[in-house]
Amino acid sequence: MSTPSQKTVAAEILVRPMRETDLVSVRRIFRVAFGTFIGVPNPEEFWADREYVFTRWRRDPGSALVAELNGAVVGSNFLTRWGSFGLFGPLTVRPDLWDQRVAQKLLDRTMEIFAEWGVRETGLFTFAHSAKHLGLYYKFGYWPWFLTAIMSKPASAQATSVQKFSSMKNQDEALSACRRLTDSIYKGLDVTLEIRAVADQNLGETLLLWDGDVIDALAVCHCGEGSEAGRDTCYVKFAAVRPAPNAGHAFERLLDGCEALANERGLARVEVGTNLSRREAYRRMLERGFRTAIQGVAMHRPDSPGYNRPDVFAIDDWR
């Protein structure tokens, strides 16, 4: 049963769109909340070389929320619309206000926005071992499916024939081709928001593997400090291969391109995430030397696999 203090705090919480003036406070809460939960010695320095807050707000300022209490920001959530698929996170709350229904207030508004967008399905990544996190998301209709592995390997020298989005003269044509590719693995899936964010904010590079006027594979990569990758890392934010008999080979070539990009940028390692339901993609990454650092669980609403299927060659982790 809820205590009076919980009810009082929840009643006084205001959930509103995030403003640029909120970003420093949001970033501090993000670091302290995750650092406290994980148990790092100095939570305020957690992931100090990675930028999740400023980059995600700039990507789509209208899709970020804050929780405000007595005029102070005490929590936040970032929503992402990939065409017909929506996801959210990181959702963070100031640690002294945990268990005070702040997260539920943020999620109430999050669900309203997803309904306004009219997305087919939504998902999130959370701590697989945390009954508290799972229990919260159960209340909003999310169901856990397979684990998602966050993996990395040292970047080795690779020959590659992939093209860089930044070198394209007709980028609108390339974006349309990218939409056709992602639509082929999940109807309406569209990650051009991420491609534009990487280009506009100079966060890394998007790699494209062409076959004539068709894109066989794409990889949206963040590179180095100040991006979601962090120091010395090329982080594959999203990658996908067009379904075809040679999809496995195209996936290998795309991974070659990611390692070549890391080498070109002077980055020591490549980091990826993939849902373990994508069995062949996961197996091939293990064979290449990728090793798991952490695992989380993908939660889906409604209770369906979405594009987390054995036949899909894709990389993402919904963090």
Q: What does the pLDDT look like over 167-186, one tens digit per residue?
A: 999 999 999 999 999 999 99
- pLDDT confidence of residue 123: 98
CATH code matching the domain that covers 151-315, chosen among 3.40.50.150, 3.30.70.590, 3.40.630.30, 3.40.50.300: 3.40.630.30
pLDDT of 130 higher than 70: yes
For the chain, the average pLDDT equals: 95
Predicted TM-score (pTM) of the model is 0.94
Cβ-proximal residues to 31 (8 Å cutoff; 6+ apart), any chain = 43, 44, 45, 46, 47, 48
The pLDDT confidence band at residue 9, using thresholds 50, 70 and 90, is confident
Please list the residue range(s) of the chain that carry CATH number 3.40.630.30.
4-119, 151-315
pLDDT at 140: 98
**Cβ neighbours, 10 Å, residue 94:** 21
Q: Is a pLDDT exceeding 90 seen at residue 8?
A: no
Q: At what angle do helices 102-117 and 4-12 cross, to 10 degrees?
A: 40
Mean pLDDT of 192-215: 96
- Report how far residue 217's alpha carbon sits from residue 75's, in angstroms, rounded to the nearest whole number: 37
Largest Cα–Cα separation, the chain: 65
* Extended beta strands in 133-241, E state: 143-154, 163-164, 204-211, 214-223, 233-241
> Could you tell me where the DSSP H helices lie in the chain?
4-12, 23-38, 53-59, 102-117, 131-138, 171-185, 192-201, 247-264, 279-287
Please state the rounded mean pLDDT for residues 127-139. Answer: 96
- Mapped onto helix, strand or coil, the DSSP state of residue 242 is coil
Q: Is the pLDDT reported for residue 1 higher than 50?
A: no
Q: How confident is the model at residue 5 (pLDDT cuts 50, 70, 90)?
A: low
Q: What is the pLDDT of residue 6?
A: 67
Q: What is the pLDDT of residues 257-270, one digit of tens each?
A: 999 999 999 999 99
- Superfamily of domain 4-119, CATH level 4: Gcn5-related N-acetyltransferase (GNAT) (3.40.630.30)
Give the Å distances, CA to CA, from 254 to 76, 246, 290: 34, 13, 15
